[in-house]
Amino acid sequence: MRCTGPFLLLILLVVSLGAGWYHFRDNETVASVAESLTAIASTEGLDTLESLKEGTLDQLGAGSGKNTVREWSNSQGKKLNAVLITSDATDCLIRVVPSQRVFRVPIASLSQADRDYISAQADSKQWQMPEPGASKWPASHDWRNLARRYQVSQSEGRLDIGRYRIHCGDADQERIEAITNICLSVDQAIKTVPLPLTWGKYSEGNRKPVFIHSSDAAYVAAGAPEGSAGFYNTRSGEVHINALQMEGLDLRQDIGQFRLAQRKKYTLLTHELVHQSTPAITHSKLPAWVIEGIAEYFSATQHIPGRFDYHHSQKLVEAYFSQNIEDTDGLVQIKNMRLWPLDTLMSRSMRQWNQVSSDSVGKSHAQGIIQYNQALLLVEYFIHGDNNSFKPFLEAALTGVGYEEAVEKHLLRGQSYSQLQEKLTARWASQGVDLIFQGSPAILLKDFQLEVGL
């Protein structure tokens, strides 16, 4: 496809934010979650976690014992200092101090004093014990036909399937099936990767609400920004989808047939569903790059609806950036990416993030786009380029370790932010992309190759 210089410049200025209209309100619902011990970290997915409404996510811990560092010993007399996070009938989860690593430990292997301590905390704990998750990152997942495995309960205008309650209205069956499968596949992906994405308190029996609106008027009446495709309401826990913006979702198509323009129809839906499925993270006080980067990661790696490819994460991330350039169908090649300095972006609160994203004038609009792209770059790097250091970082941050300490212990590990920038730059140089960290980044015409053949 041929693009003239002025045309592409116009395109760049109207690029839509890859993360949609997700907008946080400041909430005081969660600070640190509780504390912990676990031997040999194997990740944890909480199958029964349901969506949480703002104001219901309490501090997660073991009652009066939370944040209490004590000496633990096993039946062989080996000792360590750790904090109890939670437990069930057979295992406990602890965070070891000072390494701030989280481990799962069989209760039977501990001393009698430790068992008595765990038993005394059992009545006051607010965390469901997470189930052991994947030990390593999968290469890919294909859940395009996942809906066939579930029993469906359907009444007038509503569909209950898996952990979702989908309010369909009068949307056509084909669109309902496509959106339903995306919901189920995102939920499955969240649970089957080696990250603690579903840790926390949950409301058993509640289904995650998704509303499919068959008209622009109904969608806007639900509180949506006009012209958006979908949004997640942090207060109600609801995801709202404009069905008119979701046309072209055909799960029967192979990747060769699936145009990048069609990807934009469902990546935004995926982004909002990830926020809904990770309430402890979404409602936390973690900096915005963590929350938005996780949602962007799953949006980028789901290269067709219901099918995730983690093995080719860098290529999919680069394609994801390209697809955000309107009307090019992704047929532009990125040569340079201008980014915020890491110490600036990685300390940015959700309020600061939204302030940058909501300014739609000139350079500031581009900077809003850049921060979403950069959050994705960081999450992809920490998962696939840094031996999944993102896992122990999240485990520490979700169990009471301060953000700065969790970053230093697990992401920086003695490095400076400048040294981390150098590693990111080297990783992307192998893909032919030059990362440029500067105080006021912009999207410039010269950073793109205008003609790219398939």
- Per the rule left: phi > 0, alpha: psi between -120 and 50, beta: everything else, 20 is left
- The domains located in the chain, with CATH, are 5-29+134-449 (1.10.390), 44-132 (2.30.30.700)
CB 122 within 8 A of CB 91: no
Phi and psi angles of residue 266, each rounded to the nearest 5 degrees, phi first: -125, -15
Classify 280 as helix, strand or coil. Answer: helix
Handedness of CA 232, 238, 243, 249 (dihedral sign): positive
User: E strands within 269-385?
Assistant: 302-304, 307-309, 333-334, 336-339
Cβ-based neighbour number of residue 346 at 10 Å: 22
Separation CA 16–CA 343 (nearest Å): 25
Q: How many helices (H) and strands (E) does the chain have?
A: 14, 19
Separation CA 286–CA 288 (nearest Å): 6
Phi and psi angles of residue 83, each rounded to the nearest 5 degrees, phi first: -120, 135
Task: For residue 98, say if its preceding peptide bond is cis, omega within 30 degrees of 0.
Answer: yes
Separation CA 447–CA 433 (nearest Å): 9
pLDDT in tens, the chain (454 residues): 223 333 333 333 333 333 333 332 222 222 222 222 222 222 222 222 222 222 222 333 333 345 789 999 988 889 999 999 999 899 999 999 999 999 999 999 999 999 999 999 876 666 678 877 788 899 999 988 887 788 788 787 888 988 899 998 777 777 778 788 889 999 999 999 999 998 875 454 578 999 988 888 889 999 887 656 778 888 889 999 887 766 554 444 443 333 434 556 678 889 999 999 998 899 889 999 999 999 999 999 998 888 899 999 999 999 888 876 654 555 678 999 999 999 999 999 999 998 887 764 444 568 888 999 999 999 999 999 999 999 999 999 999 999 999 999 999 999 999 999 999 999 999 999 999 999 989 888 889 886 544 4
CA angle 348–316–368, rounded 5-degree value:
30
